[in-house]
């Protein structure tokens, strides 16, 4: 991604409009993924809202999430949920498909997924065999 050194990932992916479409597409996949859907509430709207604020800031945009909710402490916020490596991979799979669906270029998609993979694996808190 040479020539883009001064732009944030948030700008590169298309800003608020694309991010909003991405998060919507992502949770509709999460809700159809048997490994993930049982962890999430039926009323997904508030989750979509918090995730949109979080990813805005995670990708270098305005600090919407921290402004509203304080320090992200994302691993701690995930502790109530049994997150296995398999679930982390399912989460990344839904995100990857959502990125294709909203039309992100392949190289940008790969870069963003690598960034998210670090976090997703860091949130694993439960061994595979439950």
**Segment near ligand HEM (CB under 6 A); pick from 3-11, 20-28, 100-108, 113-121:** 113-121
Q: Are 113 and 95 a contacting pair, CB within 8 Å?
A: yes
Is residue 81 near ligand HEM by the rule CB under 6 A?
yes
Helix (H) or strand (E) holding 18: helix 15-30
Q: Which contacts qualify for 109-112: CB closer than 8 Å, 24 or more apart? A: 111/1, 111/9, 112/9, 112/13, 112/59
Distance CA 107, CA 90 (A): 21
**Which residue in the set 10, 26, 27, 54 belongs to the binding site for ligand HEM (CB under 6 A)?**
54
Q: How far is the CB of 113 from ligand HEM (least distance, A)?
A: 10
Distance CA 83, CA 110 (A): 23
Q: How far is the CB of 97 from ligand HEM (least distance, A)?
A: 15
Is residue 10 near ligand HEM by the rule CB under 6 A?
no
Q: Are 32 and 13 a contacting pair, CB within 8 Å?
A: no
Q: How far is the CB of 17 from ligand HEM (least distance, A)?
A: 19
**Which residue in the set 10, 26, 59, 123 belongs to the binding site for ligand HEM (CB under 6 A)?**
123
**Which residue in the set 12, 19, 22, 88 belongs to the binding site for ligand HEM (CB under 6 A)?**
88
For residues 66-81, b (16+ Cβ closer than 10 Å) or e, as one string?
eeeeeeeeeeeebeee
Contacting residues toward ligand HEM, per CB under 6 A: 36, 39-41, 47, 50-51, 54, 58, 69, 74, 77-78, 81, 83, 87-88, 91, 116, 119-120, 123
């Amino acid at each position: 991604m040479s020539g883009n050194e001064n732009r944030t990932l948030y700008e590169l992916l298309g800003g608020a409009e694309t991010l909003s479409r991405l998060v919507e597409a992502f949770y509709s996949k999460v809700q159809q993924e048997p490994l993930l859907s049982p962890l999430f509430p039926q009323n997904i709207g508030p989750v979509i809202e918090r995730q949109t604020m979080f990813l805005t800031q995670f990708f270098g945009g305005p600090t919407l999430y921290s402004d509203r909710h304080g320090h992200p402490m994302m691993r701690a916020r995930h502790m109530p949920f049994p997150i296995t490596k398999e679930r982390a991979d399912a989460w990344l799979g839904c995100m990857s498909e959502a990125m294709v669906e909203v039309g992100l270029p392949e190289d940008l998609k790969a870069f963003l997924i690598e960034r998210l993979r670090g976090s997703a694996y860091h949130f694993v808190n439960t061994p595979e065999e439950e």
